Amino acid sequence: MNIFSGLEKIVEEKYPLGQDTWFGLGGAADFLICPQTIDQLADVVKRCSENGIDTHILGFGSNLLIGDKGVKGAVIKLAGNDFARISFSSETLVAGAGADLNKIVLDCVRKGLGGLEILAGIPGSIGGAVRMNAGGNFGDFGSAVESVTLMDNEGNIFEKVKPELSFDYRSTNITAKYILDAKIKLYQADTTQLLKTVKEVWIYKKNTQPLNTKNAGCVFKNPRGMSAGAMINRTGLKGMKIGGAVVSEKHANFITAQENCKSSDVIKLIEKIQKAVKEKFDVELELELQIW
């Protein structure tokens, strides 16, 4: 009997997963599953758990590299309307894990609600933003999150609330694999001032990041008190190329994928960077990029 019998409409086998990432690289997933409702997700989660099938959760693929050999097991994408819902109540926003962070930032600004404008231009889903505590030079997502709704491997739903819920640099203490939504605390603010902040953030990004290239954002986390990009720059690796993977000339913590690039090219370049930084600074660069 087929493990996903009755769910054929939301299951696709040997799905070319790389096309769903910003890098556009990598092989196929054994299964891509796109639940449309929370009940369907619970069903899928339980079936995978009972049958020993590994699962990965795919957001917008903006900070993800798929290996050339693809992904074993099931990749679950929360693409249904149930997961993209957003609702405002006074100064509180509840956003589904599949909702678009960028669109929500702009919605908040238009409504004169502050708290997320510092995240302008950061691509990704709400679920990914929670998991990675998305942020940049201007602040992070976790500072605005009040609680999250989660699902465990048996399909049980529960909530994690601050202060039990905590965020750190590009990380959170959430251990549950499935994030369903986030409750976000906002505040009344002047729309003109919010728009000004958004514009400043975008100008900064445009001037410092290779926005119009195939990349997945910052490859490495900044070591405490240091800049990964500056360290890579000081090793002389800006512009370094392996196959179709190149260290960006604009920002050394970005790797761009050029024509005929393979995931293995990116991985080899990552390893070369880590080795060079270790030799020069005696610092182990930790990946911010997710590699499956």
Average pLDDT, the chain: 95
Tell me what pLDDT residue 1 has.
Answer: 47
107 and 66 inside one domain: no
105 and 167 inside one domain: yes
End-to-end alpha-carbon separation of the chain, Å? 28
- Average pLDDT rounded to a whole number, residues 246-268: 97
Tell me what pLDDT residue 226 has.
Answer: 93
Is residue 231 included in any domain, yes or no?
Answer: yes
Neighbours of 281 (CB within 10 A): 14
Residue finishing a domain among 52, 81, 110: 81
62 and 93 inside one domain: no
| Rounded Cα distance, 137 and 169, in Å | 12
Q: 227 lies in which domain range?
A: 212-291
Instruction: Say yes or no to pLDDT of 251 above 90.
Output: yes
Total tally of structural domains belonging to the chain: 3
Per-residue pLDDT of 87-117, as tens digits, reads 999 999 999 999 999 999 999 999 999 999 9
Q: In angstroms, what CA-CA distances link 215 with 210, 261, 289?
A: 8, 11, 10
Is residue 54 included in any domain, yes or no?
Answer: yes
**CATH number of the domain bearing residue 146:** 3.30.465.10
239 and 225 inside one domain: yes
Tell me what pLDDT residue 212 has.
Answer: 87
65 and 146 inside one domain: no
- Model confidence pTM above 0.85: yes
**CATH number of the domain bearing residue 251:** 3.90.78.10
Is residue 15 included in any domain, yes or no?
Answer: yes
Q: What percent of the chain has pLDDT over 90?
A: 95
Instruction: Say yes or no to pLDDT of 14 above 50.
Output: yes
99 and 185 inside one domain: yes
Per-residue pLDDT of 207-235, as tens digits, reads 999 988 999 999 999 999 999 999 999 99
Model confidence at 70, in pLDDT bands (50, 70, 90)? very high
Is residue 201 included in any domain, yes or no?
Answer: no
Torsion angle in degrees (nearest 10) through CA of 238, 256, 65, 174: 70
